[in-house]
Each structure stands twice: as structure tokens, then as C-alpha cells.
Structure 1
Amino acid sequence: MEIINEANQLELQDYAFSKKGVRQNRILYLLLKNKSMSTAELCNELNCSSATIRNDLRELDRMKLIKRIFGGAATLDDTYGCIPMKEHLEYARSEKELIAEYVVTNIIKPGQSIILDMGSTCLALARQLSNIDFDLNIITNSLLNAEALSQNPHIYLSMPGGSYSIPSDTFDCAWTLEYYENIHPDYYLTSANGVSTSGVTLTMTTDMTRALIKQKISEKAKKVVLLCDHNKINKTCFYHMCDISQIDLVVTDDLCSPDERKAFLNLGVDVAFAEDTQFSVK
């Protein structure tokens, strides 16, 4: 099933790599980082005219990505993309480690090919994979993942390269997207900022090409496994990564409330709760 049709995907790519798209994405990053900024401050940061910035702010406000305030704008989004990944790992750390342990024990088998996504839950998994004693082929766009995985001689490690973002710990650019065109892994182990019956979604982060890259890999992988702690359930963010029907398995922690557990089971896909060896299926 196609995530978006080819025409729409090309249109989104054109916008993502355009001067306007890069500028508006930079505005969102600055607002995420600073919470609010004046029009004059944004003009100074981006070396643009006040008319250009005001037009950008109107468009972003219309898309409900920011809130226009007197003389400037403020963020509506969370700060996920601005927190260094090592710090983000500390949030819900025990849940992420439980998820990682479940994946190593129950999903990954010798000789498989895996694309391991960026993100704090995937970083927890990379650190556990650094201790395996069987061969694996792993591709990752995360420098922190690669740092952990490179210590294990059983892992054949590849990276796509591209432009590196320190806050999000990922390589994202047009060349990165092209790299995945001819890749067909056994598993895509990925994470997201929100999951609901509406789909798997991502917040606006430092480079909107990340959503395109995740979409592309989801199309290419034989199986897609979503790793997310219970805090992500029933949360919908800006970017649509894929439909929930394109996820083969959701792995979450066993620390969720009864309502959160019910919400996971209502997704309509297989759900594995870490510490629980049985799959719960809607």
C-alpha cells in the first residue's frame, strides 16, 4: 500500500528542498529552541526581510504549526527535536530498555538485515545489540547507534551518510533518501512521536526530509516494527510517517495504564508488551 501517491511525494520533496521550505523549517527549529521570537529576531537569524518572515509566519500559523503573537511567533510543538539524544534517552529510560530487551530476545535472528532508526528507544536497542554473539547486517542513520554497534565484530555496519543533525542525531538529505531506494531489509525497527488509529506520526524537527526518509524505508522493508513507550499512544503529531496498517508489530512497555493498554490493543495491529511473552491482537 502506497503511503502517499507519487505526485504528492514529489511535491513534498520539492518543498522540503526549496529555499522556502528550508527557511520555514529553520523558523520552526528556532521557535522550538527559544519558545518564542520576535519578527526582528527571525529576520536577523535568517537574513531575510520582515515581509518574507511575516508571510512565512502567516503560512505556518495557518497550518497550525506555530502561534502568531504580537510582533512575532511562539511554538505549539514540543521540544523533542532540540534535546540532545543522549539526554532524551533518560526520559522513560526503564521503558525503553524493556522494549529493547524484548526485541533482542524475541525478534532479531542471526543473519538478518535490519535498518535501525534514530531515536532514544532505538539507541537503547543499539546498546543492547552491541553485546550479541551472532552475525547481523545493520544500517543506521544515527551516529550514536553506530558508535555503540561498531564495538561488536559480529555486526556488519553501514551508514547512508548525508548532512548530520546533532540535536536529533541523524543524517538527513536528498542523498540519504536516494540511498534507501535500493535497500530491502528484513526489518525496519523504527520509532515515532505519536501512534494512534490515524497512523504513525512525527513532530516537526530540524529537517522535514526525515519524514520522507522514514516513509521510504517503511515501503521498502519486509516488516516494520514500531518501538514506542506508552507515552506515545493516542498522540498525533504533524508529519504522517505511515498508516497503522503498514506496521507489522508494535512493541511497547508493560508499564502502561489499563486505558493505555486498551488504546494499544484498539490499534488493530499486533502489539507486544515488554515483559509479556504473548502477543495481544485486536
Structure 2
Amino acid sequence: MFAEERKSKILEIIKSDNSVRVSELSKLFNVSEATIRRDLIELEQAGCIVRTHGGAVSTNSTNFEPSFKEKQDKFLKEKEQIAKKAASLIEDGDTVTIDSGTTTQFISRYITAKGVTVVTNSVNLADELSDREDIEVIVTGGILRTKTKAMVGPLAEEILKQLKVDKLFLGANGVSIKSGVTTPNIVEASTKRAMIEGAKEVYLVVDSSKFDEVNFSLICNVSRIDYIITDKLPKDYEKYEHLGVKFILA
């Protein structure tokens, strides 16, 4: 079988099943896993699929969830700039919740305000702040999701329900006027909602690639967000502003 024919059949399989493993394709086509990985790289470069650890998924899959490692190097410059802007909004004496995520994690590096209390469900962010004697850190506890390094579930939500903070810096995988703010995992979405309920002001911290993306689980409607900190305005930014959402550009 020629390479182009094999890639065409791989694409058909992924579109049919939404995801596939490298090992499965290797056995199916009787070629090495290295050959399959090269095929998947070329299909991803063509915009046909998204590669994952050990396989690939359809670009149309709403429950596709990249791991923390897969996300952390993408849009790195934009994420750092967004995090700097977010950190600059934290004032002396503030109580803030910082959600787990590859963009929100950077916020901890740029906090200059004094007497700040940080609530977080991120093991990475808690570790980053562990040497900061000038910041009080409250870790929610909960079930640790190895894929996102986030602590979620009933235990995390119970702690969050008992706390009222000035500002929440929230991460998400997708945001759109029609479908709201979304993430692939139901349990993680529920924990994020608990964060929102305890915050006076909600800042959604997302790079511009997240606009018009829709994932499986709804976190909240766009109108529940007070500010969106991002690197570039979406095309329909006026619709967001009509709902009372303000944009802060990094």
C-alpha cells in the first residue's frame, strides 16, 4: 500500500471513531510505529487531525483533551504576556483564586502585590508559590487529574464553596458566544463553576486560539464572565461586549 493511500485510510478511521492509537494502526497496516507517526505528523500539518500522546484524534472531537505537557509549549509567548497582564491586576491585600492551566500557571511568576492570598487547585502553581513567604497559599485538595495537573471533584468544590475571593483567574479550552465557556471534562467543569460562584470578579485567561472553540462540558455562559484577558480580540468581540464582557489585551 502506498503512503498516500494509507494516510487516506487512517483519516477515514479517525473521522469514523474520533480517535485512534499508533499501536493499533501499526498492526492494522503492518508497518512500524515510526512510519505511522510520520503519517500522523503529515496529517496534522495538513490540518486534518490533532496528534495526542500515543495516537491522534479528529479535529472535530469535542471531548479531545490535550495533556498539560502537550499544551504548555503552544502559544508560549502569548501565554506569558497574558499572565503578566493578569498578575498586574492583583492588588495589595487581594484574595484571588487561580485556576489550574498552562496560562494561569505563569501568573504566579509575576505577582508583585503584597499581602496576597492565593487559592488554587493547581499542584504546579502551588509548588511555584511555595517559596514565596509574602504570599499565603491555600490548596483546595481533591482528586488529582494527571492529565491537567488539576485537583477537582467534591473535596475541591467543598473547600471552594467556603471561600469568597476578590478575583478569579479562570482557564478554559474554548469560548464562544453561542456555546459559552467550555472544557472537555465534566468534573473539571464543575470545579471551575465552584470557583466562579465564590468570586466577586471573574477574569477568563485565554489566548486567542481558544475563541470559537467548543468542548464537551459547559463551564458557564459568556455573560457570567466579567473580563477576558487575551492577546487578540475575537472577530465578534462586539457581541461579547454587548453581554457585559470587557476585554483586556496583553
Residue among 248, 267, 271 paired with 2:247: 271
- Secondary structure of 1:226's match? strand
Q: Deviations over 1:165-184 (max 9, x none)?
A: 12210111221122212111
Query: What residue is the counterpart of 2:194 in the other structure?
Result: 216
Residue among 55, 59, 81 paired with 1:98: 81
Amino acid at match of 1:267: Y
Any unmatched runs of 5+ in structure 2?
1-17, 25-56
- Secondary structure of 2:136's match? strand
Is residue 233 of structure 1 aligned with residue 211 of structure 2? yes
Higher mean alpha-carbon deviation, 165-174 vs 140-149, is at 165-174
Residue among 193, 203, 208 paired with 2:183: 203
Q: Return the TM-score normalized by structure 1.
A: 0.64
* Residue pairs, 1:1-282, within 5 angstroms: 34=21, 77=61, 81-83=65-67, 85-105=68-88, 107-129=89-111, 132=112, 134-205=114-185, 208-253=186-231, 256=232, 260-268=233-241, 269-274=245-250
Any unmatched runs of 5+ in structure 1?
1-30, 38-73, 275-282
Seq. identity, %: 25
Aligned-residue Cα RMSD (Å) equals: 2.5
Q: Deviations over 1:38-74 (max 9, x none)?
A: xxxxxxxxxxxxxxxxxxxxxxxxxxxxxxxxxxxx7
Seen in structure 2, the aligned counterparts of structure 1 residues 35 and 168 have a Cα distance that, compared at 3 Å, is farther
Amino acid at match of 1:271: F
Seen in structure 2, the aligned counterparts of structure 1 residues 102 and 173 have a Cα distance that, compared at 3 Å, is same
Give how far 1:113 is off.
Answer: 0.5
Seen in structure 2, the aligned counterparts of structure 1 residues 252 and 36 have a Cα distance that, compared at 3 Å, is farther
Q: Return the TM-score normalized by structure 2.
A: 0.71
Amino acid at match of 1:81: E
**Ranges of 4+ aligned residues in structure 1 off by more than 3 Å:** 31-37, 78-82
Give how far 1:238 is off.
Answer: 1.6
More strand by share: 2
